[in-house]
Amino acid sequence: MKLTNPTSIQVGLLGMGTVGTGVFNVLMRNQSEIMRRAGCGIEVTMVADLDTERAKSLVGPNVQVVADARAIIANPDIAVVVELIGGYGIAKQLVLEAIEAGKHVVTANKALLAVHGTEIFAAAQRKGVMVAFEAAVAGGIPIIKALREGLSANRIEWVAGIINGTTNFILSEMRDKGLDFDVALKEAQRLGYAEADPTFDIQGVDAAHKAALMSAIAFGVPVQFEKAYIEGITALGAQDIRYAEQLGYRIKLLGITKKTAKGIELRVHPSLVPAKRLIANVEGAMNAVMVHCDALGTTLYYGKGAGSEPTASAVIADLVDIARLNTANAAQRVPYLAFQPDAIDNTPVLDMGQVVTSYYLRLNVADEAGVLASVTSILAKLDISIDAVLQREADEVGGEGATQTDLIILTHDCVESQMNLALAQMQQLTTVLSPITRIRKEELV
């Protein structure tokens, strides 16, 4: 018996991994709930996976399982192709072929869209098909929908988000348990919050993929992952998390994009955030995105940013949207990047040196007279003003008889190139004993 009914949209899934299985299971389990909303069925009729035996055991006898994804693309009954393979290689090729075949595409592949989005959206525009990617940013949280539709009245001024669950889990563990990065990473791997090769997560690349997508849809510019400034969390020390805490801050890996008079900031790095902000209290593997707009002010969207069914939730929401807009005029649909393709502008992405922010600095210094004066005079000469200083007693840091100590400085806003000069000069002081730690600070108001 085929499940097909005349008022349903036929979907082909490429890749039957964690997310693919989630999409299939949630669609089956909530079939009637989804149909009551969409007004038509959404039905997976074909699945492509190299491991056809395993895929067959997951989807049962009513779904056709193929090893070759192109068999799905070639099937004229399939209206939507869901790409859940990941990566830039075959996934890109298949997405472009699906578009060429006139299929709508849903993908959770942030890496693909961050790097090849311009090419993919242009191809989709030519063929008049939709490419939906709610699952690509912050898992099931409907942040793409909020940015593209819910906030459409506003000039979006900035977006700042905890958009990588692995690193937020590691930072939460480091803070809660006083762990070092390496230990917290191992714990995250043991619990399944970090992959065996965690490079993309801990070095901030995954967050930068997502930030680049949010930047484009917030400001109406192309996806420009290649211009993002990216700094991960591997160099963070437990002591910086402690000092930040004492100063009323938490350290989070934020993906930030901001529109300024000079251009667009697009950056991923560890950031001190005031502990009283809601986003500072987002713990474990959870995600949250803050959006600041001219009319609405600040909103925040919080939830699970990864996992089989949370990600499936976003993929299926895209399928329901496609079912709704399927027969509508292409010009009436929500634009891929929130703004009409002919209204995308070329506001430049600023070099990191041009970014204005405030800073946390930790200097390991000799415990002798005049150190603070020499450091602060460098800052003063460069017009960098100081917000707070925390000077630790040498014996608190290094124990009885220690001759070095930590000097923590919080600065007010300054341009990053100026801070780079200051850091170079301070680093040359003979009383500064180790490389200076610099962490950016975001007040998020």
Residue 421: Cβ within 10 Å count: 15
Single-letter amino acid, residue 293: C
Q: Is 23 annotated as a binding residue?
A: no
Burial string for 302-318 (b: 16+ CB within 10 Å, else e) reads bbbbbbbbbbbbbbbbb
Using CA atoms, how far apart are residues 24 and 27, in angstroms rounded to an integer?
A: 5
Q: Is 16 annotated as a binding residue?
A: yes
Q: Is the distance from CB of 15 to CB of 48 less than 8 angstroms?
A: yes
Q: Is 396 annotated as a binding residue?
A: no
Q: Least distance in Å: CB of 354 to its own copies? A: 24
Comparing CB distances to its own copies, the nearer of 153 and 261 is 153
Q: Is 139 annotated as a binding residue?
A: no
Q: Least distance in Å: CB of 18 to its own copies? A: 13
Q: Is 195 annotated as a binding residue?
A: yes
What residues form DSSP beta bridges with 18?
none
- The continuous run of DSSP H or E covering 425 comes out as helix 416-427
Q: Least distance in Å: CB of 241 to its own copies? A: 19
Comparing CB distances to its own copies, the nearer of 260 and 299 is 299
Q: Is the distance from CB of 98 to CB of 105 less than 8 angstroms?
A: yes
Q: What is the 3-state secondary structure (H, E, C) of 248-315?
A: CEEEEEEEEEEECCCCEEEEEEEEEEECCCHHHHCCCCEEEEEEEECCCEEEEEEEECCCHHHHHHHH
What DSSP line would sit under 344-381, residue for residue?
A: ---PPBPPGGG-EEEEEEEEEEESSTTHHHHHHHHHHH
Q: Is 110 annotated as a binding residue?
A: yes
Comparing CB distances to its own copies, the nearer of 38 and 355 is 38
Q: Least distance in Å: CB of 395 to its own copies? A: 35
Q: Say whether 56 is catalytic.
A: no
Q: Least distance in Å: CB of 442 to its own copies? A: 17
Q: Is 299 annotated as a binding residue?
A: no
Q: Is 278 annotated as a binding residue?
A: no
Using CA atoms, how far apart are residues 141 and 200, in angstroms rounded to an integer?
A: 21
Q: Is the distance from CB of 364 to CB of 432 less than 8 angstroms?
A: yes
| Contacts for 344 with CB less than 8 Å, ≥ 6 apart | 220, 221, 222, 337
Q: Look up residue 337 and give its DSSP letter.
A: B
User: What angle separates helix 31-38 from helix 308-325, to the nearest 10 degrees?
Assistant: 30
Comparing CB distances to its own copies, the nearer of 230 and 344 is 344
Q: Which residues bind its own copies (CB under 8 A)?
A: 22, 26-27, 29-30, 33-39, 134, 139-142, 145-146, 148-155, 220, 276, 278, 281-282, 293-304, 309-310, 312-317, 320-321, 324-329, 331-335, 338-340, 343
Comparing CB distances to its own copies, the nearer of 155 and 242 is 155
Q: Least distance in Å: CB of 329 to its own copies? A: 6
Comparing CB distances to its own copies, the nearer of 136 and 414 is 136
Residue 278: Cβ within 10 Å count: 13
Q: Least distance in Å: CB of 5 to its own copies? A: 15
Burial string for 227-261 (b: 16+ CB within 10 Å, else e) reads bbbbbbbbebebbbbebbeebebbbbbbbbbbbee
Residue 400: Cβ within 10 Å count: 6
Residue 210: Cβ within 10 Å count: 26
Residue of 92, 103, 145, 210 with catalytic role: 210
Residue with tokens 């692995």: 166
Q: Is 66 annotated as a binding residue?
A: no
Comparing CB distances to its own copies, the nearer of 282 and 384 is 282
**Residues that constitute the known binding site:** 14-21, 110, 195
**Residues that constitute the known binding site for L-homoserine:** 195
List the catalytic residues: 210
**Residues that constitute the known binding site for NADP(+):** 14-21
